[in-house]
Amino acid sequence: MTMPTALHTEFEDIAALRLALDQRRVSASELAKSALAAIEASDLNAFLHVDPALTLQEAARADAAIAQGSAGPLTGIPIAHKDAFVTQGWRSTAGSRMLANYTSPFDATVVQRLGQAGAVSLGKLNCDEFAMGSGNENSAFGPVRNPWDTQAVPGGSSGGSAAAVAAGLAMATTGTDTGGSVRQPAALCGVSGIKPTYGTVSRFGIIAFGSSLDQAGPLARSSRDLLALLDPMSGFDERDATSLEYCDSTPNAAGRIRADYEKFQAGCHARDSQPLAGLRIGVPDEFFGPGIAQDVDTTVKAALQVYESLGAQLVRVSLPRTELSIPAYYVIAPAEASTNLSRYDGVRYGHRTATYGDLEEMTGRSRAEGFGAEVQRRILIGTYVLSHGYYDAYYLQAQRVRRLIAEDFQQALKQCDVIMGPVTPTVAKNIGERRDDPKADWLADIFTLGVSLAGLPAMSIPCGFGHSAGTPRPVGLQIIGRYFDEGRLLAIADRFQQVTQWHQHKPGQAEIQGR
């Protein structure tokens, strides 16, 4: 018996699928049914909750809109949401036992906006518990398998989001990125993903982890598909206190990123065979040091050569505090997590222990049972660094180092227009590998944390495969921009994808060679 394949995988991108829907060559309901069947047959554990009735209802609405000629840009496109976003219909667990049965009374803004744009949701995607992890092994509901090699992790924390796109279970997905959680799984699963500038996408309805770091971003096959999701997702939201009303002088609203994207593309067209002539790409020395695996190093450098062939100029830059982003992040993120997660007390919602005496015992046992090992570790570290006598030495010091790191990026981005480098030091590790050493995953976050601390936009696009693990595993190229440069980043990534095929490779369809 062959595995059922989702119908949408026959279309190159969202634009092609959009056209087929509008020309009635395929219906939203057919797409949804075939995707649900593929999800049902998949053994990747990418989805945590599927509700066919809800999905088919959304699909029927999409078909009605198409019939009436009132289809939006995403009407009928099958997507799925990371379980860190709350949804009214589907359960919202954040990958935690604490929220195993939680259903939200409202939709996250991101979910609402993509729904309004017509997208059909296939359900909720597995992730590391409360988005804490880099391999999706910290989910209370089991690890997700990497479609390229089911022995490998898909990355994390948005592991289900990346795996679902790579396996063709959804056309695109949403993720959240606190320290790399969109970029890193995108890289390890060979798909594209972007984390926009902090404050451009609403955090309302994202189950909170580190509030000064959390940002939502889409994952999809191509940069063009990312644009199709990110543009309507972004925009000011009064329900998020840190949501920006303006991005410099431009209102933070749908259309902003698309306008920047099109403006950049128009400039490229004028330059013909050297579309990126004049573009300065900063290559930080610190991203190509001894910590990076040979196969990743070679693959990323080959991608940089492709950019050179498009007319871009490579410039050596320095991000001298790259290594310090690890301790700074792992003070700030746990501090914010310990504060955010104090809401789980077993009173209003979430897990409550079966037997208890007084209130303190009820809360203490509920939290010990409801939170997994990594979440408990981070809460304890956060409690420590925020406690009396240590606050100045750890928390404030980390915030000072955070500013220095952000200033390093500002300095580097004066010498170049974008920064490029690897997303991860190695290809995906095996599921279960180094599980006895919690520090190992933290150290592997080295190339993504600085961007998060600085609040900059950055993305990952597939640029080849590494072979150090025996089987071919995807490698991602990270592209980091100035504040609010999402549109430009997506256009620069698209220029790479116009001349390479890495983003079109599919797991199981062997032949991995050339571009």
Partner 1 sequence: MSLTETDVARFAKLARIDLPQDKIEQSCTELNDLLHLIERLQSVDTQGVEPMAHPLSAHQDVALRLREDTVTEEGSEARRDALTLNAPALADGLFLVPKVVE
Could you give the residue numbers annotated as active site? 82, 157, 181
CB of 315 to partner 1, least distance (A): 21
Among 76, 179, 193, 199, binds partner 1 (CB under 8 A): 199
Q: List the one residue out of 168, 186, 191 whose CA is nearest residue 3.
A: 168
Range 303-322, binding partner 1 (CB under 8 A): 321
The SS3 call for residue 430 is: strand
CB of 355 to partner 1, least distance (A): 11
Q: Which is nearer to partner 1, 106 or 305 (by Cβ)?
A: 106
Strand partners, 375: none
Q: Which is nearer to partner 1, 18 or 321 (by Cβ)?
A: 321
CB of 392 to partner 1, least distance (A): 10
Task: Read off the amino acid at residue 148.
Answer: W
CB of 371 to partner 1, least distance (A): 7
Q: List the one residue out of 201, 216, 213, 178 whose CA is nearest residue 252.
A: 201
Does residue 105 bind partner 1 (CB under 8 A)? yes
Residues 6+ apart with CB under 8 A from 167: 42, 44, 46, 147, 507
CB of 509 to partner 1, least distance (A): 40
CB of 30 to partner 1, least distance (A): 34
Q: Which is nearer to partner 1, 26 or 379 (by Cβ)?
A: 379
Token pair for residue 202? Answer: 């609403």
Q: What residue has token string 């010498």?
A: 415
Radius of gyration of the chain (CA): 22
Among 16, 25, 101, 499, binds partner 1 (CB under 8 A): 101
Q: Which is nearer to partner 1, 177 or 295 (by Cβ)?
A: 177
Range 489-508, binding partner 1 (CB under 8 A): none
Q: Which is nearer to partner 1, 105 or 508 (by Cβ)?
A: 105
Among 24, 25, 263, 403, binds partner 1 (CB under 8 A): 403
Range 328-387, binding partner 1 (CB under 8 A): 328, 330-331, 338, 342, 345-352, 356-365, 367-368, 371, 376-377, 379-385, 387
CA atoms of 130 and 379, how far apart (whole Å): 11
SS3 content of the chain, % helix, strand, coil (to 5): 45, 15, 40
Range 410-469, binding partner 1 (CB under 8 A): 410, 438-439, 442-443, 452-455
**Hey, how many other C-beta atoms are within 10 angstroms of the C-beta on 60?**
15
φ, ψ of residue 214 to 5 degrees: the values are: -55, 130
CA atoms of 140 and 45, how far apart (whole Å): 12
Q: What residue has token string 């993720």?
A: 175
CA atoms of 494 and 434, how far apart (whole Å): 36
Q: Which is nearer to partner 1, 9 or 397 (by Cβ)?
A: 397
For 73-156, list the strands marked E by DSSP: 78-82, 120-125
Range 19-58, binding partner 1 (CB under 8 A): none
Q: Can you give the three-state secondary structure of 290-356, one letter per residue?
A: CCCCHHHHHHHHHHHHHHHHCCCEEEEECCCCHHHHHHHHHHHHHHHHHHHHHHCCCCCCCCCCCCC
CB of 443 to partner 1, least distance (A): 8
CB of 26 to partner 1, least distance (A): 37
Contacting range for partner 1; rule: CB under 8 A; set: 300-308, 390-398, 425-433, 502-510:
390-398
Q: Which is nearer to partner 1, 25 or 400 (by Cβ)?
A: 400
Among 80, 125, 398, 479, binds partner 1 (CB under 8 A): 398
- Report whether 22 contacts 66 (CB < 8 A): yes
Does residue 483 bind partner 1 (CB under 8 A)? yes
Range 222-251, binding partner 1 (CB under 8 A): 238, 241-242, 244-245, 248
- How many of the chain's residues bind partner 1 (CB under 8 A)? 80
Strand partners, 192: 220
Q: List the one residue out of 210, 162, 214 whose CA is nearest residue 183.
A: 162
